Amino acid sequence: MTTPHEGPEVAAAQPSAVIPADPVLDAELLDDDDRPHTRQEHYRRSSWWQRSPHVPAAFKSRANAAQAAKDAAVTTMSSPWRFLRAAGRGTVLAVRAWRRWVTVRDYREAAEQSEKLADKYVEIRELTLLRWRVTGGVTGIGVAGVAVGDMVYGSPALWLTAVIGATVLAITGRRKDGSPGRKPVLAGPRSLTWTMDPQILVDAFRDAKLIGKDETLRLVERASRVGAGWAITVDLPATRKATDVVKNREALASALAVDEVQLLVERVRGNGGHAGRVAMWVADADPYATPPLRTPLLDVACWDTWRPIPFGRDARDRRITLPLVWTSLLVGAIPRQGKTFAARLAAAGLILDPHTRLYVADFKAGKDWDAAAHVAHRFMSGDEPAHVLALAAWLVELVTEVQGRYRRMRDLDNDTCPESKVTPAMSRDPSLNMPITGIFIDEVQVPLEERTPIKVQGKMIPAGQYIGELLTWLAKKGPAAGIVLVLATQRPDSKTIPSQLRAVLGSRFALRVMDWRDSNIILGEQMNTRGWDSSRLLPSHKGVGILRPDGDTAAGADVLAMMVRTDYMPNDDWTTLCQRGRALRAAAGTLTGHAIGAVSVPLLDTATVAHVIGPSQIIDERPPARDVPEDLPEPLASVVEYLGADLDDGGREFVPTAELVDALGVEPTAFGRQMGELGCRPRPGRRITAEDGTSRRARGYLIADIRAAIEAQRHDPEPDDGPV
């Protein structure tokens, strides 16, 4: 054993020394991650007041506490005036009730209804005198009691009597469903109170016929200030639907005495909502009266296309972003409403990503898109038939590219390509050559209405129809392969944009149009009956439109549509962004095509797209009819000019009379007589097939008869009458 004075060296020198050790405990090491139930129990105990319905909302968050303090301050300041008004109404009610009682009004009316007023006159007179005596006695006793109290206790008795009387009158005259008293014939203007009173909201729903007179609302979230307006969430009565409130937003805005642009009504969906829950926001003033804000993309060095692109702000000043990858966009409006600005905002995000590829076709033939020529793989600006044919070649090139991408995806492993979709890593891998490719076509109605013939599967069809088929194919199969289609038009009608194409465009943005039909063509069928009609937008609200997104936004993923004011991006800012995009591509080595001077038009690869669209061959000019004489008489010359290649290619045998009359703008009877004089008479009705698949019988002319009339004019022209 060592002594207390011996150090550790001495202990080490004595091997036989015994050093006592700490006790050994048998235990198991537990990690915090192995005790989830303990953590959950601790969380439940520490946050019980957040979930308890008995704890007021003011004690659950700072925002609710601040709102409760504001409401308390408002109530405190307005209480004296409310008390006086209620006491005044109570006095009026008390006087009216006393007068009805003292004049025996109820007994008198009952006698009048039973036609026994004369028989009951004596009884009514005696009862009236009795009630006057009771009134006098009660008044005398009351005055005497007050006088005695004043003599015994002094002025406090008078004050106490006045306070009690005023309180009783105020309780009697408190406001319920309406103000008692005489109603004016011509009231003053209606206005929404600056604080959202729940009773005002209930009255507004009743006035708008959204709930019945005996129904009320249930408060889910009390009214609170959100931005420059009031927000509140309510539950409708049973069997009432939130979609009806959204559809009748104009009637509700009228009941609230605000413009409908100041009122936002949304159905609350998901776990926290149901079919009868409505979230409302009422702006203090027109949210679109202030100048627009410039795009935040000016403050960023680059952008990732896989992130939603900043697009604008809603009425609540929330930032609204627009997802573009795996979807497509249609922008429609009448001229000078901000259509091109909206399309350029969508393009700006792709321009600031050096790993994207752009196709830009400006059929407005202006300078709005010229700056994009420095970054675009393909670019053109013009509205001639040659530009339309060039666009057809672009689209065939893209169809070939999409098919090639899908073939290459099949050879990739599941780690690189988990599904048959382009991933962010794949889009940035130069060896795979699958960048996100954006196709921007401004004034898309120009190519879709082009009548220049293109031969497809041996049949001549208008170039616009062929371009519509190519765009529809790309909108269907292109998004998964990284193709983004953005179309802008100022003629949103069913003839300009085929229904097959509109049906596959995911995102829609409708600025102001002329009527609800045009709005439905952009946003979708029956959107006006669901409360979304862009024809009701104000002309002064430039850049304000209805966005129907295909993806998650700041307003939620389940929002059907929203009103958005697009960011402002003038030509100077647009040029700056394009120059920045070119610098990014130059540094990354991704400048291609038109941006580096390669402006050659791609050739049509008919073998690749034969099984998708059909073999195609672009014909730059309409081929002339066979050896047509130059001096054909009218109307045969106009018929030959209209039919053109159909006289030679053999693909058409019959042309209806109605078609020729509409195309040439002639009078039917005179046209038939003149054609008969030229040896070309109409044939009996033949069955033809319309565009919608229906068939009908129609009179018309055989192509062979028209050729025979041309031959007759060549060999036997009509002689002139000679000199007189």
- Mind listing the pLDDT tens digit for each residue in 181-198? 444 444 445 555 545 567
Residue 528 scores a pLDDT above 80: no
Q: Provide the pLDDT for residue 261.
A: 82
> Which structure tokens are listed for 557?
């993923």
Does 340 appear as a known binding residue?
Answer: yes
Among 19-33, 147-161, 439-453, top mean pLDDT goes to 439-453
pLDDT band at 414 (very low <50, low <70, confident <90, very high): confident
Beta strands in 319-391 (DSSP E): 319-322, 328-332, 356-362, 378-381
Lowest average pLDDT, out of 140-144, 186-190, 656-660, goes to: 186-190
Q: Provide the pLDDT for residue 38.
A: 54
Q: Provide the pLDDT for residue 15.
A: 41
Q: Provide the pLDDT for residue 192.
A: 56
pLDDT band at 5 (very low <50, low <70, confident <90, very high): very low
Topology agreement, domain 198-283 and domain 296-412+419-596: no
Q: Provide the pLDDT for residue 612.
A: 43
pLDDT band at 93 (very low <50, low <70, confident <90, very high): confident
pLDDT band at 602 (very low <50, low <70, confident <90, very high): low
Residue 543 scores a pLDDT above 80: yes
Does 339 appear as a known binding residue?
Answer: yes
Tens of pLDDT, residues 250-279: 888 888 888 888 888 888 877 778 888 888
Q: Provide the pLDDT for residue 600.
A: 55
What does the pLDDT average to over 535-560? 74
Does 337 appear as a known binding residue?
Answer: yes
Does 336 appear as a known binding residue?
Answer: yes
Residue 30 scores a pLDDT above 60: no
pLDDT band at 484 (very low <50, low <70, confident <90, very high): very high
Residue that wins the pLDDT comparison between 715 and 25? 715
* CA gap 516, 622 in Å, rounded: 39
Residue that wins the pLDDT comparison between 511 and 221? 511
> Which structure tokens are listed for 597?
């001077």
Lowest average pLDDT, out of 93-102, 180-189, 618-627, goes to: 618-627
Residue 77 scores a pLDDT above 70: yes
Measured in residues, the chain has a length of 724
Domain ranges of the chain: 62-172, 198-283, 296-412+419-596, 636-715
pLDDT band at 525 (very low <50, low <70, confident <90, very high): confident
Residue that wins the pLDDT comparison between 512 and 689? 512
Tens of pLDDT, residues 104-125: 777 777 666 666 666 666 777 7
Q: Provide the pLDDT for residue 316.
A: 81
Residue 179 scores a pLDDT above 80: no
* CA gap 523, 549 in Å, rounded: 10
What does the pLDDT average to over 682-693? 61
What does the pLDDT average to over 655-684? 80
Does 334 appear as a known binding residue?
Answer: yes
- Contacts with 307 (C-beta within 8 Å, 6 or more apart), sequence order: 321, 349
Does 116 appear as a known binding residue?
Answer: no
Q: Provide the pLDDT for residue 353.
A: 92
What does the pLDDT average to over 471-491? 89
Tens of pLDDT, residues 381-397: 888 888 888 888 889 88
* CA gap 538, 517 in Å, rounded: 17
- Cα 34 to chain centroid distance, Å, stands at 47
Tens of pLDDT, residues 44-63: 555 666 666 677 777 777 77
Identity of residue 101: W
Among 70-74, 484-488, 549-553, top mean pLDDT goes to 484-488
Q: Provide the pLDDT for residue 724.
A: 33
Per cent of the chain over pLDDT 70 is 76
How many contiguous H segments (helices) and E segments (strands) does the chain have?
Answer: 23, 20
pLDDT band at 663 (very low <50, low <70, confident <90, very high): confident
Segment (H or E) for 459: strand 459-462
Residue 652 scores a pLDDT above 50: yes
Across 638-650, b (16+ Cβ under 10 Å) vs e yields bbbeebbbbbeee
What does the pLDDT average to over 664-680? 81
> Which structure tokens are listed for 709?
């009339």
Does 124 appear as a known binding residue?
Answer: no
Are 222 and 308 contacting, i.e. CB atoms less than 8 angstroms apart? Answer: no
What does the pLDDT average to over 152-170? 81
Lowest average pLDDT, out of 409-423, 472-486, 595-609, goes to: 595-609
Q: Which CATH superfamily is domain 296-412+419-596 in?
A: P-loop containing nucleotide triphosphate hydrolases (3.40.50.300)
Q: Provide the pLDDT for residue 150.
A: 78
Among 71-80, 564-573, 708-717, top mean pLDDT goes to 564-573
DSSP sequence for 619-658: -SSPPPPTT--TTPPTTHHHHHHHHGGGGTSSS--EEEHH
User: DSSP 3-state assignment of 267?
Assistant: strand
Q: Provide the pLDDT for residue 117.
A: 61
Residue 659 scores a pLDDT above 60: yes
Residue that wins the pLDDT comparison between 21 and 290? 290
* CA gap 461, 452 in Å, rounded: 8
Q: Provide the pLDDT for residue 580.
A: 93
Residue 365 scores a pLDDT above 70: yes
Are 162 and 83 contacting, i.e. CB atoms less than 8 angstroms apart? Answer: no
Its sign, for the CA torsion 568, 518, 509, 476, is negative
Q: Provide the pLDDT for residue 609.
A: 41
Q: Provide the pLDDT for residue 99.
A: 83
Residue 666 scores a pLDDT above 90: no
Q: Work out the mean pLDDT of the chain and round it to a whole number.
A: 77
* CA gap 312, 563 in Å, rounded: 10
Q: Provide the pLDDT for residue 689.
A: 57
Among 141-155, 357-371, 639-653, top mean pLDDT goes to 357-371
- What fold does the segment set 198-283 form as a domain? Threonyl-tRNA Synthetase; Chain A, domain 2 (3.30.980)
Across 598-622, b (16+ Cβ under 10 Å) vs e yields eeeeeebeeebbeeebbebebeeee
